[in-house]
């Protein structure tokens, strides 16, 4: 997300260490402190590993700064959540660690599987 440009990545399981590094760098560049960066990296990793395990073995990441927040979207081409509540400790933890999370059916976004979007407020924003 250098210079405010969004971070876009396609990933498989082998890319997860690099995905974590790039998300961490982008979060730091956006102004999150070290602990918040770690929490965002963990939340994104949990979504990405869900995409790999349940969404066809691969996924897409789009991370951008929106106003005073970092917005991160993970999507995949799996079966989606097909009308049921999304299960799993990872998603639950991602919800706990972030300031907002939306779980959508991919059809609403023009993709086949699930789309999960999370938001984390930067410090200056959260303090207000």
Q: How far is the CB of 35 from other proteins (least distance, A)?
A: 5
Q: How far is the CB of 94 from other proteins (least distance, A)?
A: 9
Burial class (CB in 10 A: 0-12, 13-18, 19+), 15: middle
Nearest CA to 5 among 47, 43, 62?
Answer: 62
> What is the C-alpha separation between 91 and 126, in angstroms, rounded?
22
Burial class (CB in 10 A: 0-12, 13-18, 19+), 62: middle
Q: Please, which residue, 5 or 107, has the CB nearer to other proteins?
A: 5
Q: How far is the CB of 53 from other proteins (least distance, A)?
A: 8
Q: How far is the CB of 97 from other proteins (least distance, A)?
A: 8
Nearest CA to 94 among 72, 62, 123, 68?
Answer: 72
Q: Please, which residue, 31 or 109, has the CB nearer to other proteins?
A: 31
Per CB under 8 A, residues contacting other proteins are 1-3, 5, 7, 13, 16-18, 20-22, 25, 28-29, 34-35, 38-39, 41-42, 45-46, 49, 52-53, 89-90, 93, 96
């Amino acid at each position: 997300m250098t210079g405010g440009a969004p971070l876009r990545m396609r990933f498989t399981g082998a890319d997860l260490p690099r995905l974590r590094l790039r998300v961490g760098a982008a979060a730091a560049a956006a102004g999150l402190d070290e602990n918040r960066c770690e929490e965002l990296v963990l939340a994104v990793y949990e979504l990405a590993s869900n995409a790999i395990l349940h969404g066809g073995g691969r996924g897409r990441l789009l991370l951008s700064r929106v106003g005073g927040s970092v917005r991160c979207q993970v999507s995949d081409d799996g079966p989606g959540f097909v009308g049921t509540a999304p299960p799993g400790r990872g998603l639950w933890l991602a919800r706990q660690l972030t300031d907002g999370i939306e779980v959508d059916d991919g059809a609403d976004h023009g993709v086949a599987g699930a789309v999960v979007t999370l938001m984390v407020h930067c410090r200056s924003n959260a303090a207000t």
